[in-house]
Amino acid sequence: MGYILTEEGKKYLKEGFPEMRLIEEISKGEISFEKAKDMEGFNIALQWAKKNNWIRIESGIIKLSEEGKAAITENKSGLEAALGCPDEASEDDLDILLKRSLVRKESGISDELESLKGKEVLSLTPNLIKSGVWREVTFRPYDAQFTGKKFYPGKRHPYRNFLRQLKEKLVLMGFKEMEPRFIVPDFWNCDALFMPQTHSAREIHDIFMVDAALPPIDKNLAKKVGDEHEASWNYKWSLERANKCVLMSQGTALSAMQLLNLDIPGKYFSLAKVFRPDVVDATHLLEFFQLEGIVCDKSMNFRHLLGLLKSFAQDIAGAQEVKFYPDYYPFTEPSVQISAKHPDLGWVELGGAGIFRKEVTRPFGIEEPIIAWGVGIDRLAMFNLGISDIRELYSANLKWLRENYYYAKN
């Protein structure tokens, strides 16, 4: 471990310490303070000369003291010797030199660094950078054309990315997301949507029932809904049946729940998982995502509904051309189906919609029209992800997941 001179230290070694130059000047004849001020490094010189008791100032004149005279006689201060050879200097002197930033510690591998000069090195090191020796070495070339061992970053699942992008589009259109659920009382899944308990879509082959203990439906609301059923469908409505828990089989269940707490005007959507008993194959799963929602405002009419569907076709399916067909849902009247001309898939049935029946909204005390819509996303998702078997939407093939560069494609 050694010490080397700083730029200032080198200057002092060559020209002498400023306080020495000051007293040498004074020793040639007393000088007034005013005149001495013009000397180079006067402030430093004055500070140290005073500290060493080499001078005194009387009536604006700087005078040499006895110690000052002695310093000149000896011709060299101890410090000058120390600066000449800092490695051998006393600790006190070294301390002062360090404090005055005239020397600094030199790194311990100077010899080793020295030996690298002019050579080809393998690694660039912090010492090479700090010492500046990097200027005097060359670096061994790598095979810069080699990408190295395959690296797999952490990533979201491609299907999840697709769903998140859809969601972002809906949010940008001003839709608020409804909290998804797996398990709901059948009341929300069917009864509140005016589907009679005798409806064929409520049979054991169409809805999964579960053993669950969820809070029962509010009795007042249940009665209002039950009354609508009995008035129109000609059967005895059962609250017990409505309280049975099911796996949500249609996303509209969430829209029905939203009627309890609806902002008017309001726009809501859900991208929720729904469940249907089926045989699992390349085109069917027991569970899938449904994009659904409602729009409520006193000004809403059927032409707005068509306009909304058209904008979904454009924004979600990238379709310019659409066709509307009369359709049927138990909970909407009038009802419509939209087909859209996808740029690659051709005409696809994109979704369905309608205006909630009065029988649906009346029990909630809502008089404003509510547009309810649903968009099928599976085919679009499969197309986007480049897969032909619906089961692959949930792919657990790590190789495929690692090599699926979803962001690049979209």
Partner 1 sequence: MPKIDVSKGDLESLIGKNFSEEELESALMFAKGELDEADGDNIKVDIKDTNRPDLWSVEGMAREIKHHLGNPDFFEAEDSKVVVFAEPELKDIRPYISCCFVKGISFSDGMIKDLMGLQERLHAQIGRNREKVAIGISDFGQICPDISYKLATNDLKFPPLGHTELMSPKEILDKHEKGIEYKGLVKKGIPILVDSKNQVISMPPIINSNTLGRIDENVKDVFIDVTGTDKKLVDLTLLVLAMNFQERGGKVYRVKIKDFEGERMSPDLSEVVAQASLSECSEICGLELDAKTIIGLLSRSGARAEANGDTIIARYPAHRKDVFGSRDIIEDILISYGYNNLTSQKPNIATQGGESRSERLMGVVEDIMVGCGFQQAISFALTNEETENAKMRLEGSLCRITNPMNKNYTAVRRSLLPCLMDFLSKNRHNEFPQRVFEAGRVADGAGCEKFSVSAIISNSAVNYEEISSILEALIANLGFNLSLERADDPRFILGRCAKAIVDGVERGIVGEIHPEVIQNFGLEAPVLGFEVELGFLIG
Instruction: Tell me which residues in 121-180 interact with partner 1 (CB under 8 A).
Output: 150, 152-157, 159-160, 164, 167, 170-180
Q: State the nearest-atom distance from the C-beta of 387 to partner 1, in Å.
A: 14
Distance CA 73, CA 70 (A): 5
Per CB under 8 A, 94 contacts partner 1:
no
Per CB under 8 A, 236 contacts partner 1:
no
Q: Which of 123, 145, 234, 410 binds partner 1 (CB under 8 A)?
A: 234
DSSP annotation of 393 reads: G
Distance CA 286, CA 274 (A): 8
Distance CA 301, CA 148 (A): 61
Residue position matching structure tokens 């249609």 = 250
Residue position matching structure tokens 């659920």 = 181
Per CB under 8 A, 383 contacts partner 1:
no
Q: Which of 57, 124, 129, 210 binds partner 1 (CB under 8 A)?
A: 210
Question: Do 62 and 33 touch, CB atoms closer than 8 A?
Answer: yes
Per CB under 8 A, 224 contacts partner 1:
no
Residues from 241 through 300 that contact partner 1 (CB under 8 A) = 245, 247, 263, 265-267, 273, 275, 277-280, 285-287, 295, 297, 299-300
Distance CA 226, CA 238 (A): 8
Can you read off the two tokens belonging to residue 321?
A: 């051309």
Nearer to partner 1 among residue 112 and residue 349 (C-beta): 349
Q: State the nearest-atom distance from the C-beta of 93 to partner 1, in Å.
A: 51
Nearer to partner 1 among residue 11 and residue 169 (C-beta): 169
Give the number of other CB atoms < 10 A from CB of residue 307. 11
Q: State the nearest-atom distance from the C-beta of 327 to partner 1, in Å.
A: 5
Distance CA 138, CA 124 (A): 10
Per CB under 8 A, 304 contacts partner 1:
yes
* Number of amino acids touching partner 1 (CB under 8 A): 93
Nearer to partner 1 among residue 100 and residue 267 (C-beta): 267
Q: Strand, helix or coil at 185?
A: strand
Q: State the nearest-atom distance from the C-beta of 209 to partner 1, in Å.
A: 5
Residues from 319 through 358 that contact partner 1 (CB under 8 A) = 323-328, 330, 333-337, 355, 357-358
Q: State the nearest-atom distance from the C-beta of 106 to partner 1, in Å.
A: 40
Distance CA 101, CA 6 (A): 7
Q: State the nearest-atom distance from the C-beta of 329 to partner 1, in Å.
A: 9
Dihedral angle of Cα 6, 10, 16, 18, to the nearest 10 degrees:
-40
Q: State the nearest-atom distance from the C-beta of 410 to partner 1, in Å.
A: 17
Q: Report which secondary-structure segment, H or E, holds 13.
A: helix 7-15
